[in-house]
Amino acid sequence: MTNSQVSVLLVDDHAMVRKGLASLLSSYEDLSLAGEADDGEIGVLMYEHTKPDVVLMDMMMPHMDGITAISKIRERHPEARIIALTSFDSDDLVQRALRAGAIGYLLKNATAEELATAIRAAKNGKRTLSPEAAESLVHLMNQEPTPGHDLTEREHEVLILMIEGLNNNEIAERIFLSVSTVKFHVSAILSKLGVTNRIEAVALAVQHGLGKKPKPG
């Protein structure tokens, strides 16, 4: 594989869908198949072994769904580029996928060229959304967002520990992450809250009640 190629991990519980996607990848010289998984849990393990450039992740799967799998991969690998590829376009699912850390959201009726373009864009850190997903975000933007609404579950967990007064090293030890990963999450938290330092982040979090642990589900 050359440096210009993009390796892709396929995670979908339907064998025919994976076969079709694998065939699509093989039709482009710059795209290659890193591996396949038929369940989100296996997809998380496969990511660790293959370290692909991009993941195509189905949302509805048994044992572990796509939202959970995206969250778990991004917890350990904040740099992971994951595209949600699904048959469903509900506002809730779009927003949950993006909050979990998906860089893109496409429907399975996307054309081969649309999918290939999205994969290349994802590798370069650029977001691609289906028209339906984009419309969902417009709906969300027209609502009055509360500070911290777009924090991932892991970012919220890190923020709670920041409120408790823990530094990066202590946070890393508490939740079993590397210090560099914690720094990445802290940077993302500051950016999403629109603040420049930890003190401002903690003050805003306390003001808006962000110190409570999220409810399961």
pLDDT digits (tens), the chain, 217 positions: 456 799 999 999 999 999 999 999 999 999 999 999 999 999 999 999 999 999 999 999 988 999 999 999 999 999 999 999 998 877 788 888 988 999 999 999 999 999 999 999 999 999 999 887 887 766 665 555 678 878 988 999 999 999 999 999 999 999 999 999 999 999 999 999 989 999 999 999 988 888 776 544 3
Handedness of CA 98, 101, 105, 108 (dihedral sign): negative
Closest to 100 (Cα-Cα) out of 58, 154, 61, 55 = 154
Assess contact for 104 and 122: CB atoms under 8 A. Answer: yes
Assess contact for 174 and 125: CB atoms under 8 A. Answer: no
The DSSP line for 117-161 is: HHHHHHHTT--EE-HHHHHHHHHHHTS-PPTTTT--HHHHHHHHH
Considering the entire predicted model, what is its pTM? 0.65
State the pLDDT at residue 216: 44
Which residue reads 């996307």 in tokens?
110
Domains of the chain: 6-141 (3.40.50.2300), 153-207 (1.10.10.10)
State the pLDDT at residue 34: 97
State the pLDDT at residue 90: 79
* Residues in Cβ contact with 51 at an 8 Å cutoff, skipping those fewer than 6 apart: 34
Long-range contacts of 140-143 (CB under 8 A, 24+ apart): 140/91, 140/95
State the pLDDT at residue 53: 97
Tokens of 40: 């989100």
State the pLDDT at residue 132: 78
State the pLDDT at residue 217: 39
